[in-house]
Amino acid sequence: MRYSALATALLLMPLLAPPPARAKIPKETIKIGVLQDLPEPYASETGDGGIVAAQLAASEFEKEYLRADAEILPGTASGGLQDDLQQVRDWLDKEHVAAVVSSAPAPVNQRIAKLLEQQHRTLLVAEAVGGATTKLCSPAAVIWGAGENARMRALAYTFAQQNKNRWYFVSEQNPVGLASHLALQDAVAAQHGQIVGNTEHVVGALDFGKTVAAVNKSNADVAVLAEGDGDLITALRGLTLDRPTHPVSFVAPYAQINDIDQAGPSVADGLVVVSPFYWNEDDQTRRFARLWSDRMQGRQATQNAADVYAATLSFLHAAKAADDIDAGKVGAQLRRGILPHTLLGPATVRPDGRVVYDVNVYAVKRPDQIQHRWDYYRKIATVPAEQAFPPRDCGGVGPKTARDTAR
């Protein structure tokens, strides 16, 4: 049988034509690993809270995009550096994750960022404490958690408006305590205040009576309790026994609403806390808190849970819009404008990877103002994002453009 040249060409066309373009999302499923490994003073937030928050984000994403799938991979690391890094390697090699949401200590996140950058995958930092965040300059990293710098700057800004400029600092002897002290020094200096004294103690050994005596002697306007878990509860209960002899505002930059509930709101009356997320802020936060609490045995949603949710959902939307899981392309999508899928109000991603948003400062209500359990906070200030988040010098680190790639 003989074929004409035209017939032969028609037969060969399917073989010679380039294959149709395919989305660079493996098997149309976006996989995200969640490494839930918090340092002090966030240890009480570990467990399933971050995993549940990520799963809620994935469920919300799948409802919006019926043909899109998201899979959350729970972290199983024991807390050591090598365990965390091995968990990430396994996710990359075996599960082909698009991103890792990490609540690990800052030095661990630095190492994770390098691993993910090599594979063009994204690190979503859900909490940023321990002092190394300012050094985390990676085109693969997006930093959500407020960290000690934003918390201390929000406090210093708020109290400067009240002409309260003399500060006393109390912390545990650990990396977070040291980083918090340095952050407070910078924040207070920027508001022309001064730190007039400090107390450091080993974990679990806070002598609050001596601390109050030192606060009295210093004549401080503000006393910062940079504590977490048991030591914060000890300090709050100590306030019922020992009060300074002059007016002092006590603040707890790392306090969670579950800490207030455990200590008793009457004990924490008047305590000032920093919380970009509060469950009762608006309809969106209340809906998230209800869903999260239903799966967490009635506990109230925490800041870390909100950060994990916001980081996960925003990444999923950006990957879907980019039709890719490449860190550069997803990062560019995240930086396009205001992120609508957060629990923190309007948020934007700076070129250096830092997510910025307004930071709220609250005071614990008086007992007669509390209408029901968890109705503990009243807002006393909203600190603008540009005041709360310090600039970072990352030497031009940011998402690569087409021009950069071509070089």
Domain assignment present for residue 16? The answer is no
Q: Is 282 exposed, middle or buried (0-12, 13-18, 19+ CB in 10 A)?
A: exposed
Flag whether pLDDT at 392 surpasses 50: yes
Mean pLDDT in residue range 67-83:
81
Out of 39-43, 51-55, 212-216, 326-330, least confident range = 39-43
Any idea what the Cα angle at residue 133 is, between residues 130 and 134, rounded to 5°? 125
Residues 247 and 289 both lie in one domain = no
- Give the pLDDT band of residue 377 (cuts 50, 70, 90): very high
H helix runs in 274-376, sequence order: 283-294, 303-322, 327-334
Residue pLDDT, tens place only, 129-149: 665 555 678 889 999 999 999
Highest mean predicted confidence (pLDDT) among 45-49, 60-64, 121-125 = 121-125
Residues 62 and 86 both lie in one domain = yes
Q: Is 67 exposed, middle or buried (0-12, 13-18, 19+ CB in 10 A)?
A: exposed
Residues 172 and 251 both lie in one domain = yes
Residues 375 and 321 both lie in one domain = no
Residues 132 and 238 both lie in one domain = no
Out of 35-44, 63-72, 200-209, least confident range = 35-44
Tell me the percentage of the chain whose pLDDT exceeds 90.
66
* CATH (domain of 60): 3.40.50.2300
Residues 192 and 153 both lie in one domain = yes
The mean of the pLDDT values for the chain is 86
Residues 138 and 126 both lie in one domain = yes
What's the rounded Cα separation, in Å, for the pair 251 and 254?
9
Residues 67 and 31 both lie in one domain = yes
Tell me the percentage of the chain whose pLDDT exceeds 70.
85
Flag whether pLDDT at 67 surpasses 70: yes
Mean pLDDT in residue range 85-108:
92
Domain assignment present for residue 1? The answer is no
Domain assignment present for residue 10? The answer is no
Residues 123 and 212 both lie in one domain = no
Residue pLDDT, tens place only, 31-51: 999 998 654 444 445 568 899
Domain assignment present for residue 262? The answer is yes
Flag whether pLDDT at 345 surpasses 70: yes
**For residue 343, which of 383, 314, 317, 319 has the smallest C-alpha distance?**
314
Residues 59 and 121 both lie in one domain = yes
The whole-number pLDDT of residue 108 equals 85
Domain assignment present for residue 21? The answer is no
Please give the tally of structural domains in the chain: 2
User: What are residue 33's phi and psi, to 5 degrees?
Assistant: -90, 140
The whole-number pLDDT of residue 225 equals 95
Give the residue numbers spanning the domain of 299. 26-146+282-354+395-406
Residues 331 and 370 both lie in one domain = no
Residues 156 and 138 both lie in one domain = no
Q: Which residues pair with 274 in a beta bridge?
A: 361
SS3 content of the chain, % helix, strand, coil (to 5): 45, 20, 40
Domain assignment present for residue 130? The answer is yes
